[in-house]
Chain A
Amino acid sequence: MLPGVVGLIQATEIIKLILEGGAPLIGRLLLYDAMKMNFKEVRVRKDPECALCGEHPSVTELIDYKAFCDVPLPGAELPEEIDEAEFELSPREFKDAMDQDPSAVLVDVRETFEWDICRIDGAQLMPLSSFDPTTTGLDPEARIYLYCYKGKRSMLALKELKRAGFNKLKNLSGGIYLWAEEVDSDMPQY
């Protein structure tokens, strides 16, 4: 419902611009909070140092926006390069491997709200947002099977575990999303 409220304020401002009526939201940023159900207004000013509309612009034509937005996390070290393919299993391979391995440990790195929607039987929840390979209680010698929603976050967790000395690691390629398509048709997709 939030987009309805916001989209209609946008529509209202457009009609006011066309009619040149009322006080337009120029120089004012309107903030709407649906949970608190309040509106706040922040005055916003032109920045004389702005790279585009400032006094000495450095952006004088359209640029490469993909490169511009590809900003690295401050202080982030480059992750150790590993061959991801070596750890990936398709949903069917993932299931067969676990079925043949009674000591397999299945780890779900999604967040709690996702766990509440659906999960693979026998999994342990270790959300990536608070994932710390040193305090998982997992045995570094155990065979660990990781999954998330589509396979990216579990690969990040896999890399952290690998750096922490774990070696028997597998990742569910395509995540629980693809699992629902290829292994368990009763599982919902979200």
Chain B
Amino acid sequence: MKLNNEEINRYSRHLTLPEVGMAGQLEIKESRVLMIGAGGLGSPLGMYLGAVGVGKIGLVDFDVVDHTNLHRQIAHTTADEGRPKVESLRDTILAGNPNIEVEIHNTRLERDNVLDLFSQYDIIADGSDNFETRYLINDAAFFSKKPLVSASIFRFQGQITIFSPETGGPCYRCLYSEPPPAALVPS
């Protein structure tokens, strides 16, 4: 795999950083990242991963853009209301960088589709908004031996970590062995 001249020009400020360089930029281009959630976290995450040249980005979400999303889900514009979030985010990412591939999955992540999806990517990014999906993603990432870069937000606080049990770190279940009672989960 090589960079074309347009890409060399586009990524030149990366190429001149010794920590990235041509080898690093090619690593980025060859990488495949699957993002779960195309909302508040997924918007900035997808836009930056696309801009820096991640070669393949997968987007999973089954929701459509709502008026109440617009103040924080910045990849979606007023004109996108009613569109599937994965389509709206894909268009924003590709407008920023047409050199990459964005594959959309306008579906809910389930037990019967998750392992097949994960097998097509190198890194999983969890930006989901419910406990069911978090445990599903954690278990599937463990069985797939893929690192899980996990982020969550609630009100004015955020949490970020990488679950990578195969390299010695914990998984989500090591931290939260059981979900909270359903009645206490904020909707």
Which of A's residues lie within 8 Å of B, judged by CB? 1-11, 13-15, 17-19, 21, 24-35, 44-47, 50-54, 59, 61-66, 68-74, 76, 190
Contacts and interface: CB of A to CB of B under 8 A. Distances in A.
B111 A27 contact: no
Given A6-B160, A11-B48, A18-B27, A46 B41 contact: no
Contact of A52 (B41, B68, B171): B171
B177 A62 contact: no
A64 B136 CA distance: 9
Contacts, number: 207
A26 B73 CA distance: 27
A69 B43 contact: no
B19 A19 contact: yes
B28 interface: yes
B24 A19 contact: yes
Given A7-B151, A11-B49, A62-B115, A50 B173 contact: yes
Contacts of B6: none
Interface residues of B, number: 72
A65 B132 contact: yes
Contact of B149 (A14, A53, A74): A14
B186 interface: no
B179 A9 contact: no
Nearest to A54: B174
Nearest to A30: B160
Given A3-B43, A13-B160, A62-B139, A46 B170 contact: yes
Contact of A13 (B19, B149, B175): B149
A156 to B, nearest CB: 10
A27 B41 contact: no
A59 B44 CA distance: 34
A53 B123 contact: no
A14 B173 contact: no
24 contacts: A3-B44, A3-B73, A6-B151, A6-B160, A11-B49, A18-B27, A19-B20, A19-B28, A26-B147, A26-B164, A26-B168, A27-B169, A31-B158, A33-B156, A45-B174, A46-B169, A53-B165, A53-B174, A62-B115, A64-B111, A65-B136, A71-B178, A71-B180, A73-B181
Interface string B143-174: 10001011111001111111111011111011
A11 B179 contact: no
Nearest to A9: B160
Contact of B33 (A14, A44, A68, A76): A14
Given A26-B164, A63-B139, A32 B158 contact: yes
B182 to A, nearest CB: 6
A15 B162 CA distance: 12
Contacts of B79: none
Given A33-B156, A71-B181, A73-B182, 17 more contacts: A1-B72, A3-B41, A3-B72, A4-B43, A6-B152, A7-B44, A14-B125, A15-B49, A18-B28, A21-B19, A29-B160, A30-B161, A46-B174, A62-B114, A62-B143, A69-B179, A71-B182
